[in-house]
């Protein structure tokens, strides 16, 4: 019997969506049957389909925003920002695809020419996360379709309704129904999809554990393109600055936006000793004012619940574990209703913890570490296997130059949040945060591959060395 999948609203526990788990073989087969015809279309035709998709999203912007807010628990204003980002991605990916895969022609020897053009991989699996259930997968589906691939999209099992609506809008825009397929299912479905012989590429966004498992599973399949974006244990360093109130606002945005459920969220606040008491005071004042509530509340909340009760339970256990290791709570992690996954923003001083765990606490927990000098701050920032994002707040241009040169991360900001990357910039990290396949404006790089050709309209060739003399005696009179 096919398993049923259900999605519940985190804020209320209400059943939002239910459907049957998908058939991997059937969905990959349908995508494989569609992609040659889709790839044969002119790239301008595929780009125009993406523009129609942007218009389809605009036409149902309110409905999609409401669905995302209810399914993830994020505030409605933030869900609207996510949908706006989906729309903006279309023009961005059209532009960057043209820039990064533009055809090149060069003159060759003997009146030939050399060209570089790009081909799609075939069928690509896009595996999306729950925190941005429309924007993140759109950032891979759009360039994959522009390149001429067919897509099998598996949304997170925690946000299937948002994923289903995204696919519906693509079909509404005229993308052939078999060129983009929705595959609903949990982790086991994802495992089968990744290793399916009909899948030519895997584009994954999610936890490091799952990403590493995908990388291992595909180690014997070099013919498959694999792009991994896996989050981070991101550092934010606070150094000399006269404006601690502004610094506190940046820290709060970095650590607690989307209830701390951003892969780029600040997890570790590394502070110069002399600034610690001042910034703790500012953070306490600001945290006390943050509204935590359901997505449609009035006044609008700063953040909503985490995705589900299991996640909230795990974060509570992690906070207690840090305390048991010697961490000193500065703002406790509170859960006002044990039946629902609402958590308050928290701050804990882990400076006394000798062996700080290098894990991604995917929620509103910020760990503070005090250091004596800037070299120690950089060492602390690099004390992680991850390498997604990092930020320096305060400091001089010389401090920032040193920070940029020595901190290992794919995104490094100065006097801005850890997540402040947008437009056509690449998005990705190093270490266990990614496998050097950044998305964003660089997504075209893993959606198509370059083909180099030497071309001539007529065959012209001769062999000038290494041939035996012609034996004229055998030629007769």
Q: Write the secondary structure of the chain as one string of H (helix), E (strand) and C (coil).
A: CCCEEEEECCCCCCEEEEEECCCHHHHHHHHHHHHHHHHHCCHHHHHHHHHHHHHHHHHCHHHHHHHHHHHHCCCHHHHHHHHHHHHHHHHHHHHHHHHHHCCEEEECCCCCEEEEEEEECCEEEEECCCCCCCHHHHHHHHHHHHHCCEEEEECCCCCHHHHHHHHHHHHHCCCCCCCEEECCCCHHHHHHHHHCCCCCEEEEECCHHHHHHHHHHCCCCCCCEEEEECCCCEEEEECCCCCHHHHHHHHHHHHHHHHHCCCCCEEEEEEEHHHHHHHHHHHHHHHHHCCECCCCCCCCCCECCCCCHHHHHHHHHHHHHHHHCCCEEEECCCCCCCCCCCCCCEEEECCCCCCCCCCCCCCCEEEEEEECCHHHHHHHHCCCCCCCEEEEECCCHHHHHHHHHHCCCCEEEECCCCCCCCCCCEECCCHHHECCCCEECCCHHHHEEEEEEEECCCCCCCCCCCCCCCCHHHHCC
The pLDDT value given to residue 447: 97
Q: How many CB atoms lie within 10 A of CB 261?
A: 24
Q: Looking at residues 260-265, what average pLDDT do you find?
A: 97
Q: What is the mean pLDDT of the chain?
A: 95
Per-residue pLDDT tens over the stretch 55-105: 999 999 999 999 999 999 999 999 999 999 999 999 999 999 999 998 878
Question: Which residues are the active-site residues?
Answer: 229, 263
The pLDDT value given to residue 297: 98
Q: How many CB atoms lie within 10 A of CB 100?
A: 18
The pLDDT value given to residue 420: 73
Q: Looking at residues 385-414, what average pLDDT do you find?
A: 97
Model confidence at 363: pLDDT above 90: yes
The pLDDT value given to residue 303: 98
Pairing verdict, β 4-8 and 15-20: antiparallel
The pLDDT value given to residue 477: 54
The pLDDT value given to residue 457: 81
Per-residue pLDDT tens over the stretch 414-462: 999 999 777 789 999 999 999 999 999 999 999 999 999 888 788 878 8
Model confidence at 108: pLDDT above 70: no
Burial code (b: 16+ CB inside 10 Å, e: under 16) for 268-287 equals bbbbbeebbebbbebbeebb
For residue 5, the cross-strand partners are 19
Q: Looking at residues 309-317, what average pLDDT do you find?
A: 98
Residue 113 pLDDT level (bands cut at 50, 70, 90)? confident
Residue 247 pLDDT level (bands cut at 50, 70, 90)? very high
The pLDDT value given to residue 470: 86
The pLDDT value given to residue 105: 80
Model confidence at 123: pLDDT above 70: yes
Residue 16 pLDDT level (bands cut at 50, 70, 90)? very high
pTM, 2 dp: 0.95
- 265 Cβ contact list (under 8 Å, min separation 6): 234, 254, 255, 256, 257, 258, 418, 419
The pLDDT value given to residue 475: 61
Model confidence at 476: pLDDT above 60: no
The pLDDT value given to residue 109: 65
Model confidence at 107: pLDDT above 80: no
């Amino acid at each position: 019997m096919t398993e049923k999948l259900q999605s519940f609203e985190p804020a209320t526990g209400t059943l939002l969506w239910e459907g049957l788990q998908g058939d991997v073989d059937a969905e990959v087969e349908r995508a494989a049957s569609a992609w040659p015809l889709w790839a044969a279309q002119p790239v301008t035709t595929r780009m125009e389909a993406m523009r129609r998709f942007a218009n389809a999203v605009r036409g149902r912007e309110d409905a999609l925003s409401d669905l995302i807010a209810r399914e993830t628990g994020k505030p409605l204003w933030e869900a609207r920002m996510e949908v706006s980002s989906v729309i903006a991605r279309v023009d961005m990916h059209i532009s960057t695809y043209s820039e990064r895969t533009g055809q090149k022609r060069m003159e060759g020897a003997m009146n030939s020419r050399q060209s570089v053009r790009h081909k799609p991989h075939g069928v690509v699996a896009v595996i999306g996360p729950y925190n941005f259930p429309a924007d993140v997968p759109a950032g891979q589906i759009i360039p994959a379709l522009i390149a001429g691939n067919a897509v099998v999209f598996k949304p997170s099992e925690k946000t299937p309704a948002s994923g289903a609506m995204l696919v519906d809008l693509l079909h509404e825009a005229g993308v052939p129904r078999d060129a983009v397929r929705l595959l609903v299912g949990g982790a086991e479905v994802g495992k089968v999809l990744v290793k399916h012989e009909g899948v030519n590429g895997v584009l994954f966004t999610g936890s490091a554990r799952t990403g590493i498992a995908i990388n291992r599973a595909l180690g014997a399949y070099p013919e498959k393109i694999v792009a991994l974006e896996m989050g981070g244990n991101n550092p934010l360093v606070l150094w000399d600055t006269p404006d601690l109130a502004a610094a506190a606002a940046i820290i709060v945005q970095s650590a607690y936006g989307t209830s701390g459920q951003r892969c780029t969220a600040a997890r570790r606040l590394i502070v110069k000793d002399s600034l610690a008491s001042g910034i703790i005071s500012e953070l306490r004042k600001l945290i006390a004012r943050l509204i935590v509530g359901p997505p449609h509340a009035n006044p609008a909340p700063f953040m909503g619940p985490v995705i589900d009760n299991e996640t909230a339970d795990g974060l509570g256990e992690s906070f207690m574990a840090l305390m048991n290791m010697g961490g000193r709570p500065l703002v406790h992690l509170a859960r006002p209703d044990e039946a629902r996954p609402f958590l308050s923003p928290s701050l804990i001083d882990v400076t006394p913890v000798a062996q700080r765990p290098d894990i991604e606490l995917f929620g509103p927990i910020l760990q503070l570490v005090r250091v004596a000098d800037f070299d120690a701050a950089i060492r602390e920032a690099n004390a992680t296997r991850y390498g997604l994002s990092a930020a320096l707040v305060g400091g001089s241009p010389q401090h920032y130059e040193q920070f940029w040169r020595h901190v290992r991360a794919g995104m490094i900001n100065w006097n801005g949040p850890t997540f402040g990357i947008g437009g056509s910039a690449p998005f990705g990290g190093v270490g266990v945060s990614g496998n050097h396949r950044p998305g964003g404006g660089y997504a075209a790089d893993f959606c198509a591959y370059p083909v180099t050709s030497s071309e001539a309209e007529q065959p012209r060739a001769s062999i000038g060395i290494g041939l035996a003399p012609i034996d004229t005696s055998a030629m007769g009179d």
